[in-house]
Amino acid sequence: MIPASFDYRRAHDLDEATRWLGELGPEAKVLAGGHSLIPLMRLRLAQPSALVDIGRVPGLDTIRVDGDRLRIGALVRHAALARSEVVRRALPLLAEMAAEVGDQQVRARGTLGGVIAHADPAGDYPTLALMLDAEIVTTHGSHPARDFFQHLFTTPLQPDEVIREVTFPVAAGPHRYIKFRRRRCDWAIVGAAVQQSDGGWRLGLTNCGPTPMRARAAEAALAEGRTMAEAALQAAEGLTPPSDLRASSDYRRHLARVLTRRALEQAAA
Amino acid sequence: MAVTQLIGARIQRREDPRLVTGHGRFTDDRSPRGCCVLQVVRSPHPHARIRSIDTARAAAHPDVLRVLTAADFRSVLHGAMPVTPSFVAEKRQVPERFPIATEEVVYQGEPVAVVVARDRAAAVDAAEWVVVDYEPLPAVVDPIAALDPAGPRAHAGAPDNVCWDVTYTGGDVAGAFADAELVVHGRIVQQRLAPTPIEGRVVVAEHDPYDERMTIWLGSQNPHFIRLFVSQALQMAETQVRVVSRDVGGGFGSKISPYPEDYLVPAAAKLVGRPVKWVETRTEAMAGTTHGRGQVFEADVAVRRDGTLLGMRLTQTLDVGAYCGTFGAFQAVAVYMAPGAYRWRGVEGRTIGVLTNRVPTDPYRGAGRPEGTHLVERMVDLVARELGMDQAEVRRRNFVTAFPFTNPFGFVYDSGNYHGSLDLALAAVDYPSLRRRQAEGRAAGRYLGIGLSTYVEICGFGPSAPTAGATGGIALVEGAQVRVFPTGSVAVYVGTHAHGQGHDTTFAQIVADTLGVPMEQVELHHGDTDEGTGFGYGTYGSRSLSVGGMAVRGASLLVREKARRLAAHLLEAAEADVLVERGRFAVRGSPASSRSFQEVALAAYGANLPSGMEQGLEAVHYFDPANFVWPFGAHVCVVEVDPDTGQVTIERYVAVDDCGTVINPMIVEGQVQGGIAQGIAQALFEEVVYDPDSGQLRTGTLLDYLVPTMSELPVPECSRQVTPSPTNELGVKGVGEAGTIAASVAVINAICDALQPLGIRHVDMPASPDRLWQQLQEVRRP
């Protein structure tokens, strides 16, 4: 299939991108790695009037530690995250997630900013961003992750707003991400992420609702000194995961509990 | 059999350097000058009446040449698409199928109009502008529910949805059940599968009105059959239509039957007066390329308490789809193969073909034989379970041991050694220690399962007598032409078609050995109906070597005989004294006196010939086998099931296959590995899903239809036993489907074995984690 016709503009900097997006209106879309957008366009499920390509905007592919924050440019690709020594030291869970995104071709092209902006609850980075209170820094300001993932594919980003970078807290303690899937290159049927941070556990779940989810009841149980197995039983508290061809909602709730337990036990081991 | 250096040698596939470096010649690589693009407008409904089609806006697109509907095509296409008897001659109703819908659409994806445009973007855009006014009709979406007389009909106005309903009985079934000490029941669902070759279907057609010639390039497993069918529909002489199928990126059975586009593209080329190309998208392939399997089996097996199998009664309910596939009824062979590798007093099999509002089913790798094998191998395991016997022991007690063996339906298994292959496979896994490990694991809450599959399959179609009836007249023999040029170069034209099988290597090994020339001197040609013998029968049903290879061998022997007679003349020796040794013709007892193959080839075009011999060195041979061939083997799958998640991990997969004489062990291993991959894919991953309410296809892309990749598959440990076939001189059988036929049930038997202590009796496919978890939840419920 080939996409419906669209205009294409390549931005030289973010000011230009923002200006064009403002002129072109809400039917225009930002193109970065294109690994979510272009497949949708090929199926004509997305028919944007124009693409503003930010792929060659300089300065958006940097990774650095700034005090207690890890700052990652929006255009940093999965493969770069996976092999970055900086990420591996400052937030190894992110590097491990990046290494498991899609397949090699996807990892070579897809970007962190693209995944965040797409706000697919089956994406891995949104889970990490939510559970660790990441900040999404844009051309218009900054959004805390907890306010960012509003619903399925829905964020507060304005039509002319572009993500510059995402900042995560540095967290190098025990961690684990278990991505349950049928095929290696698939999205998670359910993903369970655990990270010890500031002495407590942060627990996140992928593909368990319309947004990434934080297993707060289980976090609280751990904070109260319950065992990991006991706490994990509460991982599905409040979840209403989707039912689809891969898994029923009940099975996803069950996986949320099992995978959270396993992730905790493996992280602690 | 000739004992030689090339037959049996591990020779790398000589077609691979070209293919893996991107130098293949696929259909889409061809764009005749002025070629335009065809886009098909397809029904979004599983069942609807077409009230009207408005093509005005699409036709007004500046880059659109024509928008065509059934009314236009009726002027150049005649008659209905073919349906062969295959294994069911007695069909009750066969809905007539025109390549494009006229008044009623009966499956989602059925063509209703085509747009021919200068480029693809215009064609795709304009196709969206064709407005079809549909009146949706109730759809038949389940083959079992389809049998309810009160339910909807797949075709409006039809008396019912039954395409066929036939019962075959072999042996003393009533007596077997009367003597039964136990009757074991099973119900097995064979989900629909999408064949998903890497290369989708592509058709390019060019019509030359001055020479009155139509050339059709497409990817086909049997281009001659396509020419036969399409030339008839176009009302052109067979000689006026040339079908060319060069490199093809996989078929797996899905490129045997003719498709609507095989007719619509050449017809459009004729109507538009320009070459036309159509390239299938993956989404179109999922909806419009024939599916495989789609069957539900109910079976009762009568046994004695000592594990002796007595009789079986089975019913196959086969989801035919909206039209009967050209070879759709082939899949009824599952009934004939349900006896498997075992002795029975009687077997009775009923096959019901059911029309539904889904794309037709047709052969898919194994085509009926995986289903028959799955059935009998599951039933044998259920028998073992109910009798508390070991699965291997029940098999050993009932194996056929004397050959030739006539099965209850009259099929004659040519040769076999079923105990031998099972013994080899069990030794390879160290079966006793595996069972010990299983027992220890269970005590520790780990669920290891061991699955056996001791299959036998029928392949190598011919012979002529039964297959002529099955195709409606054309006997499935095979032809080959061998031409030797004055320099000794050899060109071989075969009626089979290679689309991944490595014939270019295997056949060259046979020819080179027979003639005593280097392989490099032998060139293989296939896939062009303008070349070679008058008819080619194609590649499917693991027939290419045991029928086509034997035709190649036969034609080569004819050439060798003529060359030997000529050599005798040149050497002034008696014909009987001339020996052929490694490409030289020598006189018995005086090896110094000899002629090379090249010298004889040159002489064949000269003036010094024995009296009565004509110039030239070439021959045609058609091979008609005396029987089918009957490969067999034993596969063992070892799995571990995670009882918390339902996740299945294949720990080991051991395959012992016996396909008779092996020409090229590397190619055999490749076929077995690929076949096993597809069997595992069915067991664990793949399933075409239609929405049970709306009838809409839910697995329309490869995101939803899970084709496993290298990462999900084990590396099978393949080994062999060799029991030559008495059916042909080389002793060869077939191996293209064996892995698939054996594998799905090896995996499922292993899973059922693993979960037996948890109370699971049977698991259907695909054994997804979700499904296993649901089943475990049910048995855990108090």
What is the layout of strands, in order, in the sheet containing A175-180?
Answer: A175-180, A190-197, A200-206, A213-214
**Helix residue spans in B183-276 (DSSP H):** 223-234, 260-272
Cβ-Cβ contacts under 8 Å, A180 against chain B: 645, 647, 769
State whether A5 and B645 contact (CB < 8 Å): no
Write out the residues of chain A at the interface with chain B, using a CB-CB cutoff of 8 A: 1-2, 4-5, 43-44, 180, 182-186, 189, 245-248, 251, 254-255, 258
Which residue of A lies nearest to B775 if distances are taken between CA atoms?
Answer: A251
- Does a structural domain hold residue B692? no
Three-class secondary structure assignment of B273-323? CCCEEEECCHHHHHHHCCEEEEEEEEEEEEECCCCCEEEEEEEEEEEEECC
Count of structural domains within chain B: 1
CATH of the domain at B554: 3.30.365.10
- Does a structural domain hold residue B533? yes
Cβ-Cβ contacts under 8 Å, B706 against chain A: 182-183, 186
Tell me the shortest Cα–Cα distance from B747 to chain A, in angstroms: 16
B768 near A CB under 8 A: yes
Q: Could you give the CA distance from residue B754 to residue B765 in angstroms, rounded to a whole number?
A: 16
Which residue of A lies nearest to B279 if distances are taken between CA atoms?
Answer: A1
Looking at CATH, the fold of the domain delimited by A63-169 is given as 3.30.465
β-strand pairing of B111-117 with B64-69: antiparallel
pLDDT at B1 (0 to 100): 36
- Does a structural domain hold residue B447? no
Which structural domain range is residue B500 located in? 16-21+478-623
In 3D, which of B167, B581, B511 has the Cα closest to residue B346?
Answer: B167
Tell me the shortest Cα–Cα distance from B771 to chain A, in angstroms: 8
Cβ-Cβ contacts under 8 Å, B643 against chain A: none
Cβ-Cβ contacts under 8 Å, B769 against chain A: 180, 182, 189, 247, 251
**What are the residue ranges in chain B where pLDDT is below 70?**
1-4
- Does a structural domain hold residue B618? yes
Contact at 8 Å (CB) between A74 and A52?
no
Q: Which amino acid belongs to residue A218?
A: A
pLDDT at B4 (0 to 100): 54
Three-class secondary structure assignment of B729-767? CCCECCCCCHHHHHHHHHHHHHHHHHHHHHCCCCCCCCC
Instruction: Name the CA radius of gyration of chain B, rounded.
Output: 27
Q: Is the pLDDT of residue A33 over 90?
A: yes
- Does a structural domain hold residue B506? yes
What is the layout of strands, in order, in the sheet containing A50-53?
Answer: A7-10, A50-53, A28-31
pLDDT digits (tens, 9 = 90+) for A146-176: 999 999 999 999 999 999 999 999 999 999 9
B773 near A CB under 8 A: yes
Three-class secondary structure assignment of B137-206? CCCCCCCCHHHCCCCCCCCCCCCCCEEEEEEEEEECHHHHHHCCCEEEEEEEEEEEECCCCCCCCEEEEE
Cβ-Cβ contacts under 8 Å, A248 against chain B: 770, 774
Cβ-Cβ contacts under 8 Å, B704 against chain A: 245
State whether B644 and A185 contact (CB < 8 Å): no
In 3D, which of B233, B232, B206, B208 has the Cα closest to residue B218?
Answer: B206
Contact at 8 Å (CB) between A35 and A101?
no
CATH architecture, domain A175-268? 2-Layer Sandwich (3.30)
Q: Which of A43, A245, A254 sits opposite B773 (nearest CB)?
A: A254
Which residue of B lies nearest to A5 if distances are taken between CA atoms?
Answer: B121
Cα of first residue to Cα of last residue in chain B, in angstroms, is 65
Q: Is the pLDDT of residue A183 over 70?
A: yes
Instruction: Name the CA radius of gyration of chain A, rounded.
Output: 18
Secondary structure (3-state) at A66: strand
Which residue of A lies nearest to B690 if distances are taken between CA atoms?
Answer: A245
In a mutational test of the B interface, the residue from A36, A245, A254, A261 whose CB has the highest number of chain B CBs within 10 Å is: A245
Q: Where are the domains positioned within chain A?
A: 7-53, 63-169, 175-268
As beta bridge partners, residue B312 has B301, B347
pLDDT digits (tens, 9 = 90+) for B57-101: 999 999 999 999 999 999 999 999 999 999 999 999 999 999 999
- Please identify which residue in the block is written with the tokens 């497993």: B221
Handedness of CA A41, A47, A50, A54 (dihedral sign): negative
pLDDT digits (tens, 9 = 90+) for B15-54: 999 999 999 999 999 999 999 999 999 999 999 999 999 9
Cβ-Cβ contacts under 8 Å, B644 against chain A: 258
Bond prior to B463 in cis (omega within 30° of 0) = yes
State whether B770 and A185 contact (CB < 8 Å): no
Cβ-Cβ contacts under 8 Å, A251 against chain B: 769-770, 773-774
**Chain A / chain B CB contacts < 8 angstroms:** 51
Cβ-Cβ contacts under 8 Å, A245 against chain B: 689, 698-699, 704
Answer yes or no: same fold for A7-53 and A63-169: no
- Does a structural domain hold residue B320? no
pLDDT digits (tens, 9 = 90+) for A59-116: 999 999 999 999 999 999 999 999 999 999 999 999 999 999 999 999 999 999 999 9
CATH architecture, domain A7-53? 2-Layer Sandwich (3.30)
What's the ipTM? 0.95
Q: At a CB cut-off of 8 Å and minimum separation 6, what does B532 contact?
A: B479, B480, B481, B493, B494, B495, B525, B526
Q: Could you give the CA distance from residue B602 to residue B583 in angstroms, rounded to a whole number?
A: 14
- Does a structural domain hold residue B222? no
What is the layout of strands, in order, in the sheet containing B64-69?
Answer: B64-69, B111-117, B36-42, B276-279, B202-208, B213-218, B241-244
State whether B701 and A43 contact (CB < 8 Å): yes
